[in-house]
Amino acid sequence: MAITRRRMLVSGSATLLALGFPGHLWADDITAAQAIAAFANGAEITPGGVILTMEPVAEDGFRVPIRVAAEGAEALLIVAPENPVKPIALARFGPRAVEQQLATRIRLARTQEVLALARMPDGTVRQVAQAVDVVVGGCGA
Amino acid sequence: MAAGVKSRVKLPQVAAAGEVITIKTLITHRMESGQRRHEAGAVIPRSIIHRFVCAFEGETVVDIEVHPGVSTNPFFEFRARVIESGVFRFTWYDDDGAVYTDSKAITVT
């Protein structure tokens, strides 16, 4: 098989993928729906069963405290659908975690409903939403 | 960004066997989102911590995929159960390829 320029390019990209070239470099422009679908992995999403703790009003959109908890979850996902980059953080828990939860501080570009999802070990996925009024947007979030 | 990065980790030095502890971590990093522009209009390139891992003696507590929506000086808090004495290791992965690590030992009584 002759090594053409096209074939070289194709195999080069395939090699990068095979090497596990970090997906995050491309992930910044995915939609909220795509981020959620990738997380849910085909499972139906049921409402409730995740504790999402946030103040309803965020004075400073650059630093908004958030806590997400779902005991027994294998992974948690935070999504801000009105931010330029929709997924915020995806936490995967290992055998040493308990009371599976994550607290952090996030940027919110504008007033929106923040989503928190939990994937359980049986593959089921839960989701809750909370509206947050953002006074000063963490623009460019 | 590799210069001047400082991490801070907080967890108890001593715990009872089977106790659930809270771990708090922070690292100084501007977390440039890649969304902002210079006054001239050019995009300021993204430069963030994109992954954080906490493990106890090689076993994962949490492995976090971090996106630009996490604030400057990323802070993470989570819970772990300690059964025996050992060392918690913390690793932050920077977009520029730098890897920052920290560790904290805990003694189980």
For position A93, which CATH number holds? 2.60.40.2470
**C-alpha closest to that of B95 among B49, B58, B52:** B49
Beta bridge partners of B106: B86
The pair of structure tokens assigned to A91 is: 């936490």
In a domain, A19, yes or no: no
Helix, strand, coil percentages, rounded to 5, for chain B: 0, 60, 40
Residue A57 token pair: 């009003």
The beta-carbon neighbor of B61 closest among A88, A97, A140 is A97
Range of the domain at B48: 6-108
Domain total in chain B:
1
Counted domains in chain A? 1
Predicted confidence (pLDDT) per residue in A90-99, tens digit: 999 999 999 9
Cα separation, A20 vs A18, in Å, equals 5
CA distance B99 to B90: 10
Identify residue A67 by its one-letter amino acid code.
R
- Express each pLDDT in A24-48 by its tens digit: 445 689 999 999 999 999 999 999 9
Sheet order of strands, B75-82 included: A51-53, A64-69, A101-106, B75-82, B19-27, B7-10
Residues of A in contact with B72 (CB under 8 A): 62-63
The domain that holds B91 is classified in CATH as 2.60.40.10
pTM for this one?
Answer: 0.87
**Domain contains B81:** yes
Task: Say which amino acid occupies B57.
Answer: E
**Closest among B41, B37, B36, B31 to B96, alpha carbons compared:** B31
Is residue B92 assigned to a domain? yes
**Residue B1, domain member (yes or no):** no
Q: Which residues of B touch A24 (CB under 8 A)?
A: 50-51, 65, 67
**CB contact, 8 Å: B76 with chain A?**
yes
Domain assignment present for residue A11? The answer is: no
Tokens encoding B86: 């050992």
Size of interface A-B (CB pairs under 8 A): 125
Tens digit of pLDDT per residue, chain A (141 long)? 455 555 554 444 444 444 444 444 456 899 999 999 999 999 999 999 999 999 999 999 999 999 999 999 999 999 999 999 999 999 999 999 999 999 999 999 999 999 999 999 999 999 999 999 999 888 655
A124 is a domain residue: yes
A126 is a domain residue: yes
Give residue A107's domain range: 29-136
pLDDT digits (tens, 9 = 90+) for B39-91: 888 999 999 999 999 999 999 999 999 999 999 999 999 999 999 999 999 99
Based on the number of CB atoms within 10 Å of its own CB, is A107 exposed (0-12), middle (13-18) or buried (19 or more)? buried
A53 inside domain:
yes
- Which residues are CB-contacts of A13 (< 8 A; sequence separation ≥ 6)? none
Structure ipTM over 0.85, yes or no: yes
* Structural domain includes residue A141: no
Q: Is residue B5 within 8 angstroms of chain A, CB to CB? A: no
Tell me, yes or no, whether B67 lies in a domain.
yes
Angle at A62 between CA B12 and CA B91, to 5 degrees: 40
R_g (Cα) of chain B, nearest Å: 16
Q: Is A75 a member of any domain?
A: yes
User: Does A16 map to a domain?
Assistant: no
Q: What span, in angstroms and rounded, lies between the C-alpha atoms of B66 and B52? A: 7
- Assigned domain for B85 exists: yes
Query: DSSP state, A27?
Result: G
DSSP state of B72: S
The count of other CB atoms within 10 Å of the CB of residue B46 is 18
